[in-house]
Structure 1
């Protein structure tokens, strides 16, 4: 079962579900090019087509792919040829790395050169919230490994992956053998090596690296065998003076169900965090991203967006894409008036006037459940969804601490609230979640 077969089969279903004009314009000339772990890469005819598919049709596309393959893939769109071929295993839908002359530059990741053009250190907007982390990784990729390993932690969507991918690009351009891999990819590859009775070979592959970049190590929680193999790889690379960079959603001391020896090694070098961007940094992020897309957006418009949503870089970029699409589809410039109209369903107009209790009541009403069930314990799937949405809104729109939110939700502790917020945050860009949050915010605005 090849990527091309999966994609062509999915197109057959999509042709019956998507409007003919949209299918002919954006989908007909696409091609499934490769697979890495759970990511299906799809070539689009233009950057605009790729952006449209990701913003407007991603949910229905992922459903079609899952229906034809009986496997849940994430879909990534790119433009032009992929320079790195990716090997694909029919049996387990997982890829494995190939090595040429022990050169790890050829390792396959879902982030090809085409997909990471925007991910450079120069394209990272620097401000007080992230400048220390930026300086640390910039010095590391330029040969200063006096603080090795480097661990960067933050909430989701604040730039950790951007820094890792930028570091990977810089080191590969310098001729170094550098691997970027998510913790989940690492775990899947390790599990496959165990199944194939090939663990020693798996370990040896990391012996040729000059640098190892592991994203989201918190997902290794409770994975004892995977933690053990990382422990050995870590020790080997550290002893050989090779760079190790890690990211996490929390300080290593707060990692749950982790080998204590491994946690201590994570703190051997330098641990730093990225905080939510302040207004000026958020505006600069928007300015740089609009410049990269060759689109001019007035600074006053960028300030309106940043003032409402300076808490999450991914959310900022999603709003910027919405503004850019408005200009393209309507052939008119965005200004202070129409940007407020365009984003009114997403803007929390007066955060301070609504109490947390009001937010919870509106959320409960939207999900057709009782407020007491939302703030209490237990409940079914719908109650859990409502609870996570309420926690997400209190965190994102009212900027409440996890501890304060926990006090509202029957005394839940910091880690439990953080997990609920993180779970909803990871879904926040999906079609269903966007619809839900937009409608809840509209109801909140009307109740004010």
Structure 2
């Protein structure tokens, strides 16, 4: 019955989804014939397809299964192939071979990538790049335009532009998308380039296996042969007992940069604020360029929602996009999660997506966000951060040590609450809305050139959002 369901499911989804989405994500899945009580088992060829389908299509697949079987039917997504033992996410990480086959001791011979437990030897398994994460699919705006420009420069001139490129910012702001875009662009220009994307925890697992399997020489030759190393979430390198991994990364970093090979690193915080890393490594992060991705501004949040809805084939009215974007400000994942909730609510109740439907679907979420950050909380947090009294922040004093924090607090009030400029002015001692507008523009311009101010705003924003 599973195969009959999957045939019917493919026919339905092919009519519902754009051809590119259907062929890229749904066609890649395979179904296994399961027992009557086991439901439907689908298999994805790699972790990116697995994650993508779980996040965007699993709910629809479950609805189709319930419709086909006439009852709620379990539907599971696993990594691997129906003809093979399912592969866990951890098992899909790069594994260094114990035998040194295809690895030459000659410096001119090509170095093979570590073997991978996988169902296919696709380009994904060699690079770990998500082909959907490109510069064309990246929504850009003031929040990420500097990071995007630097990334494009690196992709066009790897090893000679900014090395390393260090990209930092909060969770869900698009850092991973950006570095995948660099890798895909480098390969577009030079298909023979040796590129590897790796999360720092996977890198740690590679080092551990290399020691366990006594194949460390091969591990070193592979990682030091790369033309482009993209390493994600470097902050986790400082967590736990990873001395060997930190030491190996330090030497790999030196080897690659000396050979003018490109390194791109992402992190959730400014380099000097990373805990657990030695100064010798942190200092090397400053060799190239450090750029921040900030939370997206209103226009960019609306554009992200519209593009996401278009990709998923969902009609999204402008007023609904504005409602979501106006109230949810922290990151892209939060925006996409809210959109999914609205779509699911509309489908469940058999209604078209509208402003009323969106408000009903997001009632709890909007209420939580609107009461989470208040003027009082922002003012107190900023005053404490700059070590001034709250009364001084709200006073008429114009000395620099008071005026600048006041402008910062006004800027954060505009960015982190849905309040109007006049309302913000009232909260800051009855000031005119033009004063608030001037403060917001001043801080927005200054943070582009003042690294310390930009860092302060990043810390304050993270603190306020908890």
User: Which band: TM-score by shorter chain?
Assistant: 0.5 to 0.7
Which of residues 276, 283, 289 in structure 1 aligns to 2:302?
283
Which digits, 9 at most, give the CA deviation of each residue in 1:365-417, with x for residues without a partner? xxxxxxxxxxxxxxxxxxxxxxxxxxxxxxx9779xxxxxxxxxxxxxx9xxx
**Could you say which residue in structure 2 is the equivalent of 1:119?**
133
When residues 238 and 45 of structure 1 are mapped into structure 2, their CA distance, relative to the original with a 3 A threshold, is: closer
1:116, 1:300 → 2: CA distance? 32
SS at match of 2:301: helix
**Could you say which residue in structure 2 is the equivalent of 1:48?**
57
Which digits, 9 at most, give the CA deviation of each residue in 1:242-267, with x for residues without a partner? 11000011111111121211111111
1:236, 1:87 → 2: CA distance? 37
2:350, 2:32 → 1: CA distance? 33
Deviation at 1:289, TM superposition (A): 1.1
**Could you say which residue in structure 2 is the equivalent of 1:236?**
255
Number of positions where the alignment pairs a residue of Structure 1 with one of Structure 2: 327
Matches within 5 A, 1:241-390: 241-348=260-367, 350-351=370-371
When residues 316 and 229 of structure 1 are mapped into structure 2, their CA distance, relative to the original with a 3 A threshold, is: same
Deviation at 1:139, TM superposition (A): 1.3
Which digits, 9 at most, give the CA deviation of each residue in 1:134-192, with x for residues without a partner? 11111111125321110000011111011112222222333121100000000011011
Contact 1:29 1:45 in 2 (8 A): no
Q: Gapped runs of 5+ residues in structure 2?
A: 1-30, 64-73, 103-109, 379-414, 419-454
1:293, 1:275 → 2: CA distance? 25
Q: Gapped runs of 5+ residues in structure 1?
A: 1-6, 17-22, 55-63, 66-74, 358-395, 400-413, 426-448
**Could you say which residue in structure 1 is the equivalent of 2:245?**
226
2:90, 2:308 → 1: CA distance? 40
1:253, 1:346 → 2: CA distance? 34
2:218, 2:56 → 1: CA distance? 40
Which of residues 172, 180, 183 in structure 2 aligns to 1:165?
180
1:123, 1:273 → 2: CA distance? 19
**Could you say which residue in structure 2 is the equivalent of 1:30?**
42
**Could you say which residue in structure 2 is the equivalent of 1:442?**
none
Deviation at 1:196, TM superposition (A): 1.9
Matches within 5 A, 1:10-21: 15=37
Asked if residue 184 in structure 1 is aligned to residue 201 in structure 2, the reply is yes
TM-score when scaled to structure 2?
0.59
Deviation at 1:197, TM superposition (A): 2.3
1:95, 1:259 → 2: CA distance? 26
Deviation at 1:32, TM superposition (A): 5.9
Q: CA RMSD in A?
A: 4.7
Asked if residue 199 in structure 1 is aligned to residue 211 in structure 2, the reply is no
Which of residues 82, 102, 107 in structure 1 aligns to 2:111?
102
Which digits, 9 at most, give the CA deviation of each residue in 1:81-127, with x for residues without a partner? 99xx9997999886415797535599789967999354111111111
Deviation at 1:290, TM superposition (A): 1.1
2:89, 2:364 → 1: CA distance? 44
TM-score when scaled to structure 1?
0.61
Matches within 5 A, 1:127-146: 127-143=141-157, 145-146=160-161
